[in-house]
Amino acid sequence: MVDITSDRIETGDRSVARAKALARYRIPDSIFEVLTRSAAIVVLVILGGVILSLIRGALPVFETFGFDFLGTSSWNPAKERFGALAPIYGTVISSLIALVIAMPLGIGIAIFLTELCPMPLRRPIGIAIELLAGIPSIIYGIWGLFFFAPFLQANVQPLLIETFGELPLIGALFAGPPYGVGLLTAALVLSIMILPFITSISRDVFETVPPMLKESAYGLGCTTWEVVRHVVLPYTRVGVIGGIMLALGRALGETMAVTFVIGNVHKVAGSLLAPATTISATIANEFAEASGDLYVGALIALGLILFFITFLVLAGARLLLLRLEKRAGA
């Protein structure tokens, strides 16, 4: 005969023990939830404080010049005439050129490391690429000013002027004397600086592709290019785009290296060989010497503009990723 009473007692004891265990673990879970939520709130508070500080510092400039501050390139501290068009132009164009150069190179290196490179060479090449990301930006600037810019002035820029200078539309991009420093030089240095970010992130996401998918494609007779195009890139496109956007954010905010090689001239020139300036370079060069609320406010306004440019780039990347995910789900 089964003792029903003893079974109920044992079941009740187990329930009580389980409840005590849950109560014991509930307190650490609550503490962990509070800590993580507080960390997220602190980040939002800091971000909001940065935005409010920039807006407050930039208000005198926008009250004085209005939106003409964004559409003019004049920059004369002595007469207190300021315009942000030249720094905005230099920032956007140099970053885009750097991205156009570094993106195919970085993705190509990542594909080589994951699909084609012999195993003994993968680790040394990967470490060499990652070391580029660890070099301080001022080292890139010194190298660019004393070695890279003279090389471009003596060898590359004259060739570009001779080859493309007489063409109807493209010629305007390579007009003028070979200064060495300029917009193109800054873009090339930036492309070298952001190359490790694109390569490292692309390589890491390429390695997450399940081997079964690639082996199945090879089993069907696909070439390496077809496997990369139809299997690897579609599977990892979200991570690759994220790495590209991270590199673009680095290029937009780079200061010291660009300051050394861009020429620091407040002028919007059609030629890529002409000296120019960027937002970060302008702030770094002039903030220590800025005097007067309007001058300081103009530099803070440039920082606010750079913040919004970066925000728009990240928001656009996020919308692109959402569209890709929605298309993949459909």
- pLDDT for 22 equals 65
Under 8 Å between Cβ of 183 and 252:
no
- For 267-301, give one letter per residue: b (16+ CB within 10 A) or e: bbbebbbbbbbbbbbbbbebeeebeeebbbbbbbb
Which residues share a beta bridge with 82?
75
Query: Which residue ranges make up each domain of the chain?
Result: 1-65, 68-329
Amino acid letter for position 75: W
**Global pTM value:** 0.84
- pLDDT for 125 equals 86
CA-to-CA separations, 237 to 6, 168, 213, 218, 242, in angstroms, rounded: 61, 38, 15, 20, 8
Digit-coded pLDDT (tens) for 86-131: 999 999 999 999 999 999 999 999 999 988 888 888 888 888 888 8
CA-to-CA separations, 49 to 54, 163, 244, 311, in angstroms, rounded: 9, 51, 28, 16
- pLDDT for 2 equals 46
Torsion of CA 272, 275, 278, 283, to 10 degrees: 180
Q: In tens digits, what is the pLDDT along the chain, a chain of 330 residues?
A: 445 555 555 555 566 667 666 666 777 778 888 899 999 999 999 999 999 999 998 898 888 888 888 888 888 888 888 888 999 999 999 999 999 999 999 999 999 998 888 888 888 888 888 888 888 889 999 999 999 999 999 998 898 888 887 888 788 888 888 888 999 999 999 999 999 989 988 998 998 888 888 888 888 888 888 888 888 988 888 888 888 888 888 888 888 899 999 988 888 888 889 899 999 999 988 888 878 788 888 999 999 999 999 888 888 877 877 777 776 655
- pLDDT for 91 equals 93
Q: Tell me the three state secondary structure of residue 80.
A: coil
Query: Chain centroid to CA 205: how far?
Result: 17
Give the residue from 69, 101, 102 showing the smallest Cα distance to 88: 69
Joined tokens for residue 220: 């069907």
CATH architecture of 68-329: Orthogonal Bundle (1.10)
CA-to-CA separations, 166 to 16, 170, 185, 274, in angstroms, rounded: 88, 8, 21, 17
CA-to-CA separations, 290 to 40, 47, 76, 282, in angstroms, rounded: 35, 25, 12, 11
- pLDDT for 1 equals 46
DSSP letter, residue 176: S
Contact residues for 275 (Cβ-Cβ < 8 A; gap 6+): 179, 181, 182, 183, 262, 263, 264, 265, 267, 269
Distance CA 189, CA 253 (A): 14
